[in-house]
Structure 1
Amino acid sequence: MLRLGVILVAMALSAGGTFAAELACEGPFAKDSDHKRLVAAFGHANVIRKAIHDPEGAEVRASIVFPKDSVRRVVVLWFDEKALKRPARLVLEGSSWSGPQGLRIGSPLEVVETANGRPFTLYGFDWDYGGSTESWNGGALGNLSGGCAFAPIFEPDYTTSDEIQNAVSGDTQFASDSQAMRAAKVRIRSLHLRYPRK
């Protein structure tokens, strides 16, 4: 296995030729990193600067690692956008990345609770910050090695009834182990790691 910063744990190809890697807040993705360090770690051809839009639609400057590779693509948002320094959020857009403890896109809510060591609080769905985590309630996923927090975005199972989905919609906080969340069969939609602003 290969350690390339974010702990690219298992950046090696598996026997079946499938890329698999775990992202963590170290090396080129450490809290004091910058765009230049990404280039040094991954190569000039594999890192670009690009303006993207945040959840509220505002344009922000970001760095994108492996921009043309849907399996390994990572978007890095910065606290210092002008200098592209101090990562604020890492967005794991590549389909084969995993987060802490092997959590992946599609991991059920119950599995995330087990990794956290306790239930947590998340927002309802179908608005700008729908499905985001409000608090890990002191659990393991809120204080990872390197000083970051796991910040996945969740979604309900859209094959459930409208009544079930409406019950977990909107700018409202829910306990992950609530009856409404369990009924919605919630799972991870996308993977993010986030640093505090300090």
Structure 2
Amino acid sequence: MLARATFFVALALTAPAFAEEIACEGAFAIDSSEARLIEIYGADNVETGIVPGPEGTEMLATTVFPGDPRKALQFVWWDEDNLRDPGNIELPSKALAHGGVHIGTTLAELEAINGEAFTFNGFGWDYGGFASFRTGALSNLPGGCHLSVGLFPHANLEGVDTMPVNGDVEVKSTDPLLDLMDVRVDTLSIGYPHPDFRD
């Protein structure tokens, strides 16, 4: 595997201009809301409506900086009536998440940041490549949020059997096949458990 990198703890993103790293406070806090997003980013930069969801579904979400993929944030709310209590926040392509995780981070780097190996869903379906961290440094983040990443293979392997890591299976990040596939972070999100299941 590649040499493992060391990263610093994330900083807060609380202003319209993105900082290099984000944390689960301010706009991203457990008690955030559409009203807070408007206050921070301005009404012209905040849009709430129906967006595509997984497996052909649709869902209600609030998007900050719609139309700008390098900055766009998408908030899905537990309390849709009041547009508050974020369940999931999709981060923009330019973001650095907790510990310096970013789009393009390798599996080796993720393991180094987390301090241990982890598991994720097999590739090739709507929830394919999805990883949330049950243990390790990325499993217990300040502010009570959890980090999720979408992983994707970047190597074009002809003649290599990748079926063991495809489909509805649990894949270990230490699987040697993944090094050949050059698996990297493709999407980033942070989220919170439902209010009924919080400590």
TM category (shorter chain) comes to 0.7 to 0.9
TM-score by length of 2: 0.85
Aligned position for 2:97? 99
Instruction: Confirm or deny: 8 A CA contact 1:126 1:169 kept in the other structure.
Output: yes
Instruction: Confirm or deny: 8 A CA contact 2:47 2:66 kept in the other structure.
Output: yes
Residue pairs, 1:1-198, within 5 angstroms: 7-8=12-13, 21-92=20-91, 94-133=92-131, 135-161=132-158, 163-198=160-195
Instruction: Confirm or deny: 8 A CA contact 2:21 2:97 kept in the other structure.
Output: yes
Structure 1 distance, partners of 2:30, 2:108, is 29
Q: 1:84 to 1:11 in 2, by over 3 A?
A: closer
Q: How many residue pairs are counted as aligned between the two chains? A: 185
- Greater mean deviation of Cα atoms: 67-76 or 124-133: 67-76
SS at match of 2:110: helix
The alpha carbon displacement at 1:70 in A equals 2.4
Structure 2 distance, partners of 1:21, 1:117, is 22
Structure 1 distance, partners of 2:65, 2:45, is 5
Structure 2 distance, partners of 1:178, 1:194, is 27
Structure 2 distance, partners of 1:161, 1:91, is 33
Q: Which runs of 5+ in 1 are unaligned?
A: 1-5, 13-18
Q: 1:87 to 1:39 in 2, by over 3 A?
A: same
Q: Deviations over 1:11-59 (max 9, x none)?
A: 76xxxxxx66322210122111111111011111111102112212221
Structure 2 distance, partners of 1:162, 1:41, is 51
Q: Which runs of 5+ in 2 are unaligned?
A: 1-10
Root mean square deviation of aligned Cα = 2.1
SS at match of 1:152: strand
Structure 1 distance, partners of 2:14, 2:34, is 21
The alpha carbon displacement at 1:165 in A equals 3.3
Percentage identity across paired residues of the two chains: 38
Q: 1:142 to 1:67 in 2, by over 3 A?
A: same
- Greater mean deviation of Cα atoms: 112-121 or 152-161: 152-161
